[in-house]
Structure 1
Amino acid sequence: MDYSTIASDASIVKTIAALSAKGYDASIAASRADALEEIKKLIPADASVMNGSSATLGEIGYLDYLAKGGHGWRDLHAEVTAENDAAKRVELRKQSVLSDWYLGSVHALAETGDMVVASNSGSQLPHLVFTSKNIILVIGAQKIVPDLAEGMKRLESYVVPLEDARMMQAYKTHTANNKTLVIRGENPSLGRKFHIMIVKEKLGF
């Protein structure tokens, strides 16, 4: 399977239906610009926001928009990275898991609605699993695969090597897939909301 090819319209529609059946707010964005505009509409001006390391968020223009200010959001990621003391930075990152909104992506999205997210440190996983009340996941349509097994193959054989190359170029160090999360659904009693946007473009890995 070519993991860089954008999924067909039929595959995207099938995936949206599966996500919706799981209770997610699932939508299709025709372009990265449309995805960014939808994010602007979703997040209220007084909210705290946190994001993980995400090529996708950079490619849709979200990170630039966040950095410029004027949106009224409290940028917890900026607060973490602005702290020079390593120990204090770790504590701020721990506190950030209580953000009102968390934004990120996934490494594979199955047509069944199952999602795969891998992490080196695991810092973004609490948001996804439990702590943040509102989650926005922006997913390039090339990340859609038929099932969870193919999603795991995509992660190991395609995503990890690309991320390793990026890490070596940027930081002269290798990556490590230390923690892998499979999201199959959400307990409605938690009162959390997942907004999942499939963008009909190639975004991220």
Structure 2
Amino acid sequence: MDYGKLKKNFEDHRFLTSYFETREEAAAYLKEKIRGEKVGFGGSMTCQEMGLYELLKENNQVVWHWKDEMTAAEARRAAMDSTVYILSANGVSETGELVNIDGTGNRAAASLFGPERVFYVIGRNKIAPDLHSTIARAKNTACTKNARRLGVKTPCAASEELRCYDCNSPARICSATVILERPCNGMTVELVFINEDLGY
């Protein structure tokens, strides 16, 4: 991971950045930065692998449709009303763009409007050289692996080949692609880079 290049290009695009060698260091940093807030989570294997829900629940009101007691639909709506939102990205370009592809749209929506602060937790495996290869990484790696994890009936989940078929299946989990070039107005967005492979 060339953090120097990532830092320059993303900070030139008005994002904040931080860097950690391990997930434990990044998690401790977030625990210190986020206290007394309502925290919403987007669906994220990276967040799960870091144990962020349990860690941040100690000092905050935390909402996540993967773990909350309310229904998934209720939790998704409640998370959008958070002061802080935490998610990862399906792909991150060294040139300074974030790519996320959503099926339901809650993660994309909350990352663009509502919360005052947004934190992206990003493992080194999410990074690609440019926007074109970042979109390809999101479609062919992240989305395909998520479809297999969820057990949906799509060509990418059924195939041994790791690639997107641009299907029209009702079970498709790729309905909206968001390319974030700058933080949306009224939000502070920080990218927390971690020098480990995390999530898909």
- Return the TM-score normalized by structure 1: 0.81
Which residue does 2:58 correspond to in 1?
Answer: 70
My pick for the range that moved more, 154-163 or 173-182, is 173-182
Q: Of 164, 170, 174, which residue of structure 2 is paired with 1:177?
A: 174
Displacement of 1:191: 3.1
Instruction: Please state how far the C-alpha of 1:95 moved relative to its aligned partner.
Output: 4.0
Residue aligned with 1:82, SS:
coil
CA 1:102–1:149 in 2, change beyond 3 Å: closer, same or farther? Answer: same
Runs of 4 or more consecutive aligned structure 1 residues displaced over 4 Å after TM superposition: 172-175
Q: Which residue of 1 aligns with 2:164?
A: none
Instruction: Supply the distance in 2 between the matched residues of 1:50 and 1:94 (Cα, whole angstroms).
Output: 10
Do the aligned residues in 2 keep the contact of 1:163 with 1:175 (CA within 8 Å)?
no
Equivalent residue of 1:117, what SS? strand
The amino acid of 1:126's aligned partner reads A
SS of 1:19's equivalent in the other structure is helix
Once the two structures are TM-superposed, the CA of residue 70 in structure 1 deviates from its matched residue by: 2.8
1:56 corresponds to which residue?
Answer: 46
Residue type matched to 2:54 in 1?
Answer: D
Gaps of 5+ in 2: 159-170
Per-residue CA distance 1:33-92 (angstroms, 9 max, x = gap): 011011011112x210000111001111213324xx432x111337993225xxxx6355
Cα contact 2:96–2:181 (8 A) shared by 1: yes
Q: Which residue of structure 1 aligns with residue 17 of structure 2? A: 26
Unaligned runs of 5+ in 1: 1-6
* 1:165 partnered with 2:152: no
Note the C-alpha offset of 1:18. 0.6
- Residue 80 of structure 1 contacts residue 92 of structure 1 at CA under 8 Å; is this kept in 2? no
Displacement, 1:12? Answer: 2.6
Q: State which of 126, 145, 151 in structure 2 corresponds to 1:143.
A: 126
Contact 2:93 2:130 in 1 (8 A): yes
Say which structure is richer in helix: 1
- Give 1:14's aligned residue: 5
Aligned residue in 2 for 1:129? 112
- In structure 2, the partner of 1:155 is 138
The answer on whether the counterparts of 1:12 and 1:141 sit within 8 Å (CA) in structure 2 is no
- What percent of counterpart residues are identical? 21
Cα RMSD for the two superposed structures: 2.3
Quick one: distance in 2 between partners of 1:105 and 1:12?
17
1:102 Cα deviation (Å)?
0.2
TM-score by length of structure 2 reads 0.83
